[in-house]
């Protein structure tokens, strides 16, 4: 028995691609169009055919770990002796 396909709005299609890219990154797999498509298909989600390729191209030369840890507005420097945050402890090696 095949899994039914879910038809979703563009915003959710983008989220499906984002989550797929994060899953691939977390498993240390190169983010590629076919890999994104495989995860989306396994989830039973139907997205417009251009989204996975768009995300794969956009993330091709991006350090996703660095991108995750460097989002948000800049703030004041942490106080001396403050505990390091998650990104400092898990900084990806380049």
- By CB atoms closer than 10 A (0-12, 13-18, 19+), residue 1 is exposed
Q: What is the pLDDT of residue 66?
A: 87
Percentage of the residues of the chain whose pLDDT score is greater than 70 = 68
Q: Which residue has the higher pLDDT, 45 or 7?
A: 45
Query: Per-domain residue ranges for the chain?
Result: 10-71
Domain 10-71 has CATH 3.40.718.10: no
pTM for the predicted model, two decimal places: 0.69
Please state which of the ranges 34-43, 49-58, 59-68 shows the lowest mean pLDDT.
59-68
CB 16 within 8 A of CB 45: yes
């Amino acid at each position: 028995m095949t899994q039914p396909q879910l038809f979703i709005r563009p915003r959710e299609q983008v989220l499906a691609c984002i989550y797929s890219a994060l899953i691939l990154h977390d498993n240390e797999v190169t983010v590629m169009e076919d890999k994104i498509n495989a995860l989306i298909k396994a989830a039973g989600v139907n997205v417009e055919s251009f989204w996975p390729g768009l995300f794969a191209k956009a993330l091709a030369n991006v350090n996703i770990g660095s991108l995750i840890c460097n989002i948000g507005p800049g703030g004041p420097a942490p106080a001396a002796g403050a505990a390091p945050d998650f990104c400092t402890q898990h900084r990806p090696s380049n």
